[in-house]
Amino acid sequence: DVKVTQSSRYLVKRTGEKVFLECVQDMDHENMFWYRQDPGLGLRLIYFSYDVKMKEKGDIPEGYSVSREKKERFSLILESASTNQTSMYLCASRFNYEQYFGPGTRLTVT
């Protein structure tokens, strides 16, 4: 079974803090993705990575960065959290075109 885990289910941070969201997959997948999901806006791609140290911007990369130092781990970084980054963050990894999602992190920025 495909297993994607995320470091936290719920997170509360203050405006201006640096926030790290971590995602780990145990299937040796090359491709990993970070999305955010907001009511009425659907799933939006923030960044994705197709190999270690390789990354590409998605549709809404502003205010975010990513790190992929090891194949199994893909981190999303909010450099200076803002209230408009309050959202559900979803990590996914891909195998044979199929994407499998982690449980999600609900981030609240106050």
Partner 1 sequence: QKEVEQNSGPLSVPEGAIASLNCTYSDRGSQSFFWYRQYSGKSPELIMSIYSNGDKEDGRFTAQLNKASQYVSLLIRDSQPSDSATYLCAVNTQGAQKLVFGQGTRLTINP
| CB contact at 8 A, 66 and 49 | yes
Work out the number of other CB atoms within 10 angstroms of the CB of residue 15. Answer: 11
Q: Which of 11, 22, 58, 61 binds partner 1 (CB under 8 A)?
A: 58
Least distance from partner 1 to the Cβ atom of residue 98, Å: 6
Site membership for partner 1, residue 104 (CB under 8 A):
yes
Residues that bind partner 1 (CB under 8 A): 31, 33, 42-43, 45, 48, 50, 56, 58, 90, 94, 97-104
